[in-house]
Amino acid sequence: MNPLGLYEPGTSTVHRAPAGWKFLALLVFAVVIFVLNSPLALASSALAVVLAYVLARIPARRCWQISRLLIPLLAVVFLLQWWMLGLDSAAVVCLRLLTALGAANLFTLTTRVDDLVSAVERGLRPTRRLGVRPERIGLLVGLTLQAVAALSTIATQVREAQRARNAERSISAFAVPFLVRTLRHADDLGEALAARGVGDDETRT
């Protein structure tokens, strides 16, 4: 199962919130945490994200899945930043990453892609007279979220195959299959979009 980018069905307040407002809140929250420079303020923001997970009643297994991916990444980033910039800077950078990625993952867990695409299209509808095509922007947002989910699934499956072959320490045993499967996924996606006529109007123009 893919730990990132999969909707987790639920009836919580977070699930029921309109997708457009949740997306806007996520953008504002991301700006705020990247403006903050205090470890205490960022730690408070991270705690708020944790409380949001509790409010959304996200199962512990899903929390563990994202934690299993983030902990090694954050550990490497923390050690590098500590070595180059010092302890305070390392704490700030890691707390920012933890809070931002945790909030983004919560958004994808509690928001259907179709609902988000529809909200983006409705919100951008007034810009159509300026030449903007809301349906294309909505498609881009939806494909971006699905790409995150697909790449995470591929990485998880390749890692499991590594463990089965006792090749966990081999970089090539992960990188080569991951790259091949990623390119294959991109080809399949391109063929699917072409079969639905996406881009035909620009080609004719």
What six digits make up the tokens of 59?
């199962």
Residue-wise pLDDT tens digits, 128-185: 777 767 677 766 766 766 666 677 677 777 878 878 888 767 777 777 787 888 888 7
Residue with tokens 């010092």: 86
Which pLDDT score, from 0 to 100, does residue 201 have? 52
Which stretches of the chain are DSSP H helices?
13-16, 19-35, 39-56, 60-85, 87-110, 113-124, 134-164, 171-195, 200-204
pLDDT of residue 130: 72
CB 156 within 8 A of CB 123: no
Q: What pLDDT sits at residue 183?
A: 81
pTM of the shown model: 0.69
pLDDT at 204: 47
Main-chain dihedrals φ then ψ at residue 193, nearest 5 degrees: -65, -40
* Residue ranges in the chain modelled with pLDDT below 70: 1-5, 125, 132, 134, 138-139, 141-142, 144-149, 152, 168, 189, 193, 195-205
pLDDT for 175 equals: 77
pLDDT at 200: 53
Single-letter amino acid, residue 197: G
